[in-house]
Amino acid sequence: MACAKVARLLEPVMAELGLDDIRALELRGLPLSRAQRRRIESCPDAELLRRWLDRALLATDVAEVFAGDGPSP
């Protein structure tokens, strides 16, 4: 029960992290496919979202953001 409450409290934080990733890529002129956008939006792992954001700030293409983190959509 407590885990479910914590998960609900973290939902807005996770959503914000995902939006930061998407915004960073868009501002850098690196368009996301629908599948890539869904992958970010549905990611439940804050550490992974932060890693993607760090990569998004330096990547030359979107594939670099997801490199090494499983199959990219």
Give the domain ranges of the chain: 2-66
16 or 60, greater pLDDT: 60
Contact 59, 65 (CB under 8 A): yes
- pLDDT bucket at 6, cuts 50 / 70 / 90: very low
Detail the DSSP E strand segments found in the chain.
none
Q: How far apart are CA 61 and CA 45, in angstroms?
A: 22
Q: Is the pLDDT of residue 13 over 70?
A: no
End-to-end CA distance of the chain: 34
Phi, psi of 54 (to 5 degrees): -55, -45
Q: Is the pLDDT of residue 73 over 60?
A: no
pTM of the model: 0.76
- 31 secondary structure, DSSP code: P
